[in-house]
Chains A and B, each alone.
Chain A
């Protein structure tokens, strides 16, 4: 009997674990180690953040789902990986976990594995910007929508500002809280939901809504922007984004790194060296991401964390980390199998793998501060990568260790994204986008880097309906209800 351990139960980890168990059956063991008791459909946190949904609408208990699937669920956080074995386990590799629930809080345990999937996702690194967050992560002066709890807190604070806006002018600031953030798309969606809700609440005229982000142009989204066919032209996402901001009366500050946050003030520096302060009454600023801080230890007790992980804490996999300057980047730099560089039976999926380099062009301010988006690895690509790695591992267990690994490069993969504004079925609108491939391939698609036949976007009710359907469909799938395997990632 082989044991597969999946560290992390987010989109990628949950997908990997559930498909691995389905394909391996009862003859092999699948263990999920995650500190969370509930699964969260993160895209709908935006609706929680404006009070259109509750935490219960976007989360569910993991234990009954894993019990139904026959998956061994440990509510615990992973602390370290011992890929060469050691302790009392001989040559058998193992991980060290610390329970966060199930009545064993604080207890440590060693779990041996045959195959390990690192799907630990990001650490929300609020501490990277002074004042952006405090120890409990909810934000000292600013809020976030990165988790369902954060989103509930964000809505609580937003409603206070809406109440004040009935009597006086208020300023709302939304965007990224550091020079090297990702997830601009989440902030983009949130700002237009806030704008929509302000109109509904009758306080839009008293609300000055401002955007701040580390993108060098609006519509970069951490993927270097995109082009789509519109009116006989290949139009840049910059036109698309600027049009939406103008239409909704939202002012923008871009190419900006938030350097410090105080009560009601966000200090920033821009790519041209300009510094400034934006006063706000409510701010939702996305924190930068880092790895969760896993340690890797060799059999003799040597710390090999720097061999297994990149300096930012994400796991090094089969990517080209020596590509160098932007001009040298190629689509082929991106990983295909997600196998660890030092252990054949360890893989990293979703946000946990270290990308070879950003997708957007790196830029610095005159003072040397890095100001550019880091690459997104969430949603559809995350699910596809999780399923692909599960497939590779299952083949190795069922067909033999020489079975070839399956591939899912982000340079050969598309993504669909729907950013809503509002939640009503007839009065909301959404921007529906697809991009193919996620990582631009300038050798295959010279100039624009993407296939215009499969990269498109439009605004309307239709996208809004799709957003609703995706919400219910992915929660249905994640709960492993009948036919769940038929729903694509």
Chain B
């Protein structure tokens, strides 16, 4: 988070964007949480695929 904050300069284009917190970034690579998300995303994608055929 601190590393991202260091790159942001007031009134630059990236000053008005959302940036992920340390917690959000950690969850993106937390294997246990991502196994759950893997199942959820697969189900969501399969529903879209089914609706599209």
Q: Do A462 and B37 touch across chains, with their CB atoms under 8 A apart?
A: yes
Q: Do B19 and A429 touch across chains, with their CB atoms under 8 A apart?
A: no
Inter-chain CA distance A455–B26, complex, in Å, is 24
Main secondary structure, interface of B, reads helix
Beta-carbon nearest neighbor of A231 in chain B: B18
Residues of chain B lying within 8 A (CB to CB) of residue A462: 34-35, 37-38, 40-41
User: Which candidate, A28-36, A245-253, A477-485, is the interface stretch facing chain B?
Assistant: A245-253
Q: Which of B16-31 contact A (CB under 8 A)?
A: 16-20, 27-29, 31
- Number of chain B residues whose Cβ lies closer than 8 Å to a Cβ of chain A: 31
Main secondary structure, interface of A, reads mixed
Residues of chain A lying within 8 A (CB to CB) of residue B37: 458, 460, 462
Q: Do B53 and A429 touch across chains, with their CB atoms under 8 A apart?
A: no
Q: Do A466 and B42 touch across chains, with their CB atoms under 8 A apart?
A: yes
Beta-carbon nearest neighbor of A250 in chain B: B14
Q: Do A459 and B28 touch across chains, with their CB atoms under 8 A apart?
A: yes
Q: Do B49 and A380 touch across chains, with their CB atoms under 8 A apart?
A: yes
Q: Do A461 and B31 touch across chains, with their CB atoms under 8 A apart?
A: yes
Q: Do A436 and B38 touch across chains, with their CB atoms under 8 A apart?
A: no
- Band of interface residues on A: 35 or more
Point out the residue from B17, B29, B45 that lies within 8 Å of A460, measured CB to CB.
B29
Q: Do A465 and B48 touch across chains, with their CB atoms under 8 A apart?
A: no
Given known pairs A416-B45, A454-B48, A465-B38, the reply for A251 and B31 (CB within 8 Å) is: no
Inter-chain CA distance A465–B33, complex, in Å, is 13
Q: Do B53 and A434 touch across chains, with their CB atoms under 8 A apart?
A: no
Mark each residue of chain A from 229 to 250: 1 if its CB lies under 8 Å from any CB of chain B, else 0.
0000000000100110111010
Answer whether residue B2 sits at the interface, using C-beta atoms and an 8 A cutoff: no
Residues of chain A lying within 8 A (CB to CB) of residue B8: 246
Least Cβ distance of A293 to chain B in Å? 31
Given known pairs A243-B17, A247-B4, the reply for A461 and B49 (CB within 8 Å) is: no
| Residue of B20, B28, B48, B50 with most chain A CB atoms under a 10 A cut-off | B48
Q: Do A466 and B38 touch across chains, with their CB atoms under 8 A apart?
A: yes
Q: Do B45 and A466 touch across chains, with their CB atoms under 8 A apart?
A: yes
Q: Do B29 and A246 touch across chains, with their CB atoms under 8 A apart?
A: no
Answer whether residue A384 sits at the interface, using C-beta atoms and an 8 A cutoff: yes
Q: Do B41 and A246 touch across chains, with their CB atoms under 8 A apart?
A: no
Inter-chain CA distance A201–B15, complex, in Å, is 28
Answer whether residue A414 sits at the interface, using C-beta atoms and an 8 A cutoff: yes
Residues of chain B lying within 8 A (CB to CB) of residue A239: 17-18
Given known pairs A252-B13, A460-B37, A466-B38, the reply for A426 and B29 (CB within 8 Å) is: yes
Seed contacts A458-B41, A460-B28; 11 additional CB < 8 Å A-B pairs: A239-B17, A242-B13, A246-B14, A252-B13, A415-B52, A416-B45, A434-B45, A436-B51, A461-B38, A462-B35, A489-B49
Chain B residues in the interface with A (C-beta under 8 A): 4, 7-8, 13-14, 16-20, 27-29, 31, 33-35, 37-38, 40-42, 44-45, 47-53
